[in-house]
Amino acid sequence: MLSKMFRTSALIVAVLVPGCTAWAQSMEVGAVNPATHTLTITVKGTIAPILSGSDPLRFDGQSGTVKILASESLTPTKHTATSATYTLPPGAITVTAGSNKFSTKSPSKMVINLTSTADTLTLIIAGQVNGVSLMVTDTNFLKAGSWTTAVLKHPGVFSPSPQKLTAAKTAGGPGCKVKYTVFGNTSVLGFSGTALNSATVDPVLPEDDLDQ
């Protein structure tokens, strides 16, 4: 009698366990869907001082803001053990420098590098100011450990947010800086201010009723 009960119990377990396992796996896969989130990063502050070059666009002393929108479903176009390069579509970055404002009309690059002294966010942007074409490289030094290594697979939020940005003291040294090239001339200026970010869930659009 006992052996029959044991055989019956084993049969019940054998039937139930695979079903539970499949259910658990489906829950794990569906728990996080980066395709439904948009990352917003805003860097704002003051562009100063001039570290090299003549600053023909007279950005020195002007307020500056860079706003980035990136889908958390993006994958790197290039990566190393400590860095990831993401290609952002046209319009993903908006830049304001004083009274000058432009949004990107071509793809841009966002490079995140994790080091022992700082986590850096670098943006490489092509744009136009008052009809003049220029290339901009915006480098921001965040606290070390602001991102986890998960950011090397998909863009994600940094923490803490907001956090203070300190201007570089030399063109080639550590710290936040803006480099731009216009008319064949390159200028580098420091940048100080704050960086903050957030991630929002994209709205779910209703299905079209094709029968109507």
For residue 20, name the pLDDT band (cuts at 50, 70, 90).
very low
* pLDDT higher than threshold 60 for residue 28: no
The pLDDT value recorded for residue 29 is 33
**pLDDT tens for residues 44-79?**
999 999 999 999 999 999 999 999 999 999 999 999
Q: Is 13 helix (H, G, I), strand (E, B) or coil?
A: helix
- 3-class secondary structure, 166: coil
Cβ pair 161, 197 in contact under 8 A: yes
Omega prior to 89 cis, within 30 of 0: no
In this predicted structure, what is the pLDDT of residue 36? 74
pLDDT digit string, tens, across residues 93-132: 999 999 999 999 999 999 999 999 999 999 999 999 888 9
Exposure string of 138-151, with b = 16+ CB inside 10 Å and e = fewer, is bbbbbeeebbeeeb
Per-residue pLDDT tens digits for 145-177: 999 999 999 999 999 999 999 999 999 999 999
